[in-house]
Every structure is written in structure tokens, then in C-alpha cells.
């Protein structure tokens, strides 16, 4: 029997595009993610491939389960690797928070043991087009996709600001062939120091200003406003400490305050959609 090969793009094709959805996908079809989570957790490892020579030494694991084939990126960094803040738990937490906020930008990510060690395991993002490559090769956004892509980039910056992701690069912003946006690499997110609790990564007062989040979905703001310790803990489980959750809540206040300031200056219709 021929095996069905699963890729991140086949996942996106299954979900389809919904222009009015925060998550870029039809909400009723996002339940497909649960199937991918099971596949990543339970699939039999049949092959491995080293990815790069970085400190965290990620490994691509190829899986088989119930006649299906697919792969994911497994890594198990700790906060002590080369003196860098780097935790596999943050990868899983970023995915769970992405789901809580109804974003659909982070590929399915689970906890999985491999060779006696626990780490994060994320659906392999087999998408060659990154923002880095797009800029390097001077590839313009398609005219009919430009506005939507810009909105998704603003949304990704707001998300990175909320989770204090210090490692967002042009390389880990990926595009599907039909120009939907995915975000990978969150092992250096959820910082707790005062510097990251009193200043956002992006925005008018951000560490990476003038890069901002000029326009955002109303639904996203509603979801952020609804965040509290209990809802975050229920979503992320053991993957974040109480300090990390409280830091999210501190940044939530900063983010909402800046959005309110933008609305006063520019008008709600020019900020939210």
C-alpha cells in the first residue's frame, strides 16, 4: 500500500485560506491540528537527519504511522547551552499560546522523548521561501496578497512582543506557495527579566523600533485582553514557569496600552480591522 506523505503545506491545503480569519484558515478546520499532534507524538521514527551545526543541534526525524509519512524538527536545548537562554519548553508553549489566541501561525509542536531525552518536536516546515530569501532576491509580494501579508507581519510582531521572542529573524518567517505566513523557532521566547517586562520587542517604544504592529485584528485584541494567569496556565501546562506567565501578563498591559494610544492618535478604523 502506498504511503501518504504529510508535509506542512499539505496541512495548510487541508485547512484552506480564510481571508477574514485571524488564523488565515477556516476555524472549523483548525481541529486538524490535533491529528498532527498525535502523529508527531506517536509516529515511529524511521530515519534521522542532522540540521545545521548550531548549539542546540536540531534533528529532523522522519516518521511513519498508519500508512502516513512525515517529519518534524526535534530539539532539546536547555537554558545552560553555551550560556544562552534557550529552552525547548518555549517551543511547545509558543504553539499552545498561538492556539489560545487563535493565530494559526506556529506549526504543530509537541513534547517528545528521543534517545532518552525530552525535547520539542515541531512539524517540519518544508517551505523554501523565507522573508530573508524574498528580500535577498528582491521578490515582491504579489499585489493581491500584499495587504494581507503586511497584516500578518504586524500580527507576528504583536505576538513576538507578547511572548518576548528575542530570536525572530527573517529566516524563521516562512511563506507557503500561496503566501501564507508561518513562524518557527521560539526557544528563546518568554523572557522574564525586568528589561523584557517593561519594554516590548516591537512598537513605538519597542526594542526593535521603528518596527511596529500598525494594524491588528479586533479579535486578536479581544483575545489578548481576555488573557489571565488561569487561562495561560491551562493552555501551556507545565511548559512555562509562574514567572514566565506573569511576564506575559505584564507585557499584555504594555501591548494594550500602546494599542489604545494608537487608536487615540489615528482613530480606531485605522488601527483595528
Q: 227-258: per-residue pLDDT in tens?
A: 999 999 999 999 999 999 999 999 999 999 99
> H or E stretch including 250?
helix 242-266
Reported as a single tens digit per residue, the pLDDT across 7-32 is: 655 555 444 443 345 666 666 657 78
Reported as a single tens digit per residue, the pLDDT across 105-141 is: 999 999 999 999 999 999 998 899 999 999 999 999 9
Residues 6+ apart with CB under 8 A from 186: 90, 91, 93, 94, 95, 106, 163, 165, 167
Q: At what angle do helices 146-163 and 218-225 cross, to 10 degrees?
A: 10
Residue keyed to cell 505566513: 181
> DSSP secondary-structure letter at 178?
T
The yes-or-no verdict on residue 99 having pLDDT over 90 is yes
Domain boundaries, the chain: 4-123, 144-175+191-270
Residue keyed to cell 506573569: 246
Cell numbers given for 170: 527573517
Where b means 16+ CB within 10 Å and e means fewer, 79-118 reads eebeeebbbbbbbbbbbbbbbbbbbbbbbbbbbbeeeeee
Amino acid at each position: 500500500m502506498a504511503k501518504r506523505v504529510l508535509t506542512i503545506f499539505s496541512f495548510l491545503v487541508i485547512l484552506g485560506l480564510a481571508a477574514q480569519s485571524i488564523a488565515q484558515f477556516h476555524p472549523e478546520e483548525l481541529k486538524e491540528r490535533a491529528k498532527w499532534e498525535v502523529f508527531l507524538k506517536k509516529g515511529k521514527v524511521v530515519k534521522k537527519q542532522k540540521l545545521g551545526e548550531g548549539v542546540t543541534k536540531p534533528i529532523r526525524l522522519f516518521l511513519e504511522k498508519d500508512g502516513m509519512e512525515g517529519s518534524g524538527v526535534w530539539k532539546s536545548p536547555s537554558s545552560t547551552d553555551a550560556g544562552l537562554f534557550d529552552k525547548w519548553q518555549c517551543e511547545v508553549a509558543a504553539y499552545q499560546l498561538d492556539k489560545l489566541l487563535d493565530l494559526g501561525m506556529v506549526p504543530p509542536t509537541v513534547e517528545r522523548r528521543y534517545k532518552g531525552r525530552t525535547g520539542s518536536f515541531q512539524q517540519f516546515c518544508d517551505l523554501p521561501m523565507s522573508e530573508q530569501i524574498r528580500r535577498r532576491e528582491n521578490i515582491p509580494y504579489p499585489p493581491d496578497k500584499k495587504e494581507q501579508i503586511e497584516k500578518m507581519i504586524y500580527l507576528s510582531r504583536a505576538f513576538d512582543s507578547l511572548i518576548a521572542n528575542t530570536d525572530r529573524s527573517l529566516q524563521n518567517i516562512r511563506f507557503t506557495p500561496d503566501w501564507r505566513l508561518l513562524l518557527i523557532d521560539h526557544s528563546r521566547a518568554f523572557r522574564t527579566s525586568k528589561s523584557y517586562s517593561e519594554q516590548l520587542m516591537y512598537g513605538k517604544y519597542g526594542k526593535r523600533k521603528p518596527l511596529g504592529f500598525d494594524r491588528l485584528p479586533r479579535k486578536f485584541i479581544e483575545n489578548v485582553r481576555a488573557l489571565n494567569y488561569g487561562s495561560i496556565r491551562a493552555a501551556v501546562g507545565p511548559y512555562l514557569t509562574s514567572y514566565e506567565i506573569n511576564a506575559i501578563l505584564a507585557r499584555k498591559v504594555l501591548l494594550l496600552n500602546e494599542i489604545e494610544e494608537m487608536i487615540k492618535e489615528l482613530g480606531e478604523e485605522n488601527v483595528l480591522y
